[in-house]
Chains A and B, each alone.
Chain A
């Protein structure tokens, strides 16, 4: 069995980590290499960098960030944020990224999923889906950082991206994100039981039990975490030990 993966997410803006570990003794608080190395040492299973740069120059610095991180940290790196074309993907992969996460561009141009997975393989294309509850057992896909509704049904869209070749789905609940009140278990379950590619759950984690539930009841294969880790509410080893004690497979 593959183990349940714990994946820290670092937000990067114009080349610096703006949402990362809050640690006084870090030499350079915003240094992506230092932050990634810290989590790698803590046995993070992968690391996600989300580029939230507002400018084209900022976007370009992401390639350098990836290069620096990939020469120091030897666990899988996923990069997301503002990726629009095969060229963008290629630049980041060449810089050392292992997976590319695509959100808005995939909705606007679904053929990008097929083209990119044909070219680079399914394992390196992650489709990020931001879902918002709109009715009983019904969730709508939002794009542009959760601002724009698309009219698309989350479960149908997940099935479609799987068919187009996506290797994983990163599923975020807009309703629960930032609340620390737990995941949208129902949405996670509805997606995971309808597709056979791995689902990474995101949005709403506040307690260790939330994490256990989204795996056990939601059928998630991996968990993406930001503030819970960055603010040191729990360490990765505490999380893994808890999940292991509950009978799940983790890499300790």
Chain B
């Protein structure tokens, strides 16, 4: 069963219903012992980095999360749920889980760029080789839904699974061993999003 981590803020329900739509059963992870039942984990993401980390820490989920990821179970972090995997975030000047080396930085544009922050809406996702299996049955350069002000900068380019252009090119998906992270919201990206989620749940990308 897929465990969906609830860490206090945000919209868990749409991830739950998207997983259900993919034909998979899920349950909500509220405390460390809940992880035992999960064979896959999704860490959804809405909210602020500092608050998210704080809640994970206080509930004891942070350590459990760290341990479970190390066991090799398939893990998907969405938006903030991906950012939290990185070493450090500018948002709230906070340390992350450091499972993927790199930083989380805010979009900065000059007024003449006419770029809005947050980056809110549908943007094109360009698939990079390591992401091929994750995006199986999804054509390259399809639209996914984004809602974020911060983006990840991995130290190792080998983890980059997809990129997106918003003023400049940023990393919109990462894959490292059993860990997948996406900046877009597959649960809100219509049919392409559901296919992506299904691909993740089916696990062929792990082979």
List residues of chain A with CB under 8 Å of any chain B CB. Answer: 1-3, 5, 40, 43, 45, 67, 70-72, 74-77, 93-98, 118-124, 167-168, 196-198, 219, 221-222, 251
Q: In angstroms, how far is the closest chain B Cβ from the Cβ of A97?
A: 7
Contact assessment for B21 and A74 in the assembled complex, using a CB-CB cutoff below 8 Å: yes
B47 x A74 contact (CB < 8 A): no
CB <8 Å contact, A96 and B121: no
Task: Report B124 CB to chain A, min CB distance, Å.
Answer: 9
A123 touches B120 (CB 8 A): yes
| Given A74-B189, A121-B47: A196 touches B117 (CB 8 Å cut-off) | yes
Q: Is the CB of B123 within 8 A of A118?
A: no
Q: Which chain A positions have C-beta within 8 A of B21?
A: 71, 74
Residue from the list A3, A43, A71, A97 in contact with B121, Cβ < 8 A: A3
Q: How far is the CA of A252 from the CA of B191 in the complex (A)?
A: 13
How far, in angstroms, from A2 to B144 measured CA to CA in the complex? 10
- Contact count A vs B, C-beta below 8 Å: 119
Q: How large is the interface on B (under 10, 10 to 19, 20 to 34, 35 or more residues)?
A: 35 or more
Q: Of the candidates A3, A97, A197, which one forms a contact with B122 in the assembled complex, judged by CB atoms under 8 Å apart?
A: A3
Closest chain-A Cβ to B28's Cβ sits at a distance in Å of 11
Q: Would you call B11 and A119 a contact (CB within 8 A)? A: no
Q: List chain B residues, Cβ under 8 A from A3.
A: 121-123, 143
Q: Are A94 and B12 in contact (CB under 8 A)?
A: yes
* Chain A residue with Cβ nearest B117: A196
Contact B13 A167 (CB under 8 A): no
Contact A96 B148 (CB under 8 A): no
User: Is B145 an interface position by the 8 A CB rule?
Assistant: yes
Closest Cβ–Cβ distance, residue A75 to chain B (whole Å): 6
Name the 4 nearest CB pairs between A and B, nearest first. Answer: A2-B121, A71-B17, A123-B147, A96-B13
What 1/0 mask marks residues of chain B from 123 to 162 whose CB sits below 8 Å from any chain A CB?
1000000000000000000010111110000000000000
Nearest CB in chain B: distance from A60 CB, A: 17
Fill in one digit per residue for B40-56: 1 if any A CB lies within 8 Å of its CB, else 0. 00000011100100000
Q: Is B10 an interface residue (CB 8 A)?
A: yes
Q: What are 29 A-B pairs with beta-carbon distances under 8 A?
A: A1-B167, A2-B116, A2-B120, A2-B166, A3-B143, A5-B122, A67-B13, A70-B13, A71-B13, A71-B20, A74-B188, A74-B190, A74-B191, A75-B145, A75-B188, A77-B14, A93-B11, A93-B46, A98-B188, A120-B10, A121-B10, A121-B46, A121-B47, A123-B120, A196-B111, A198-B121, A219-B114, A221-B116, A251-B122
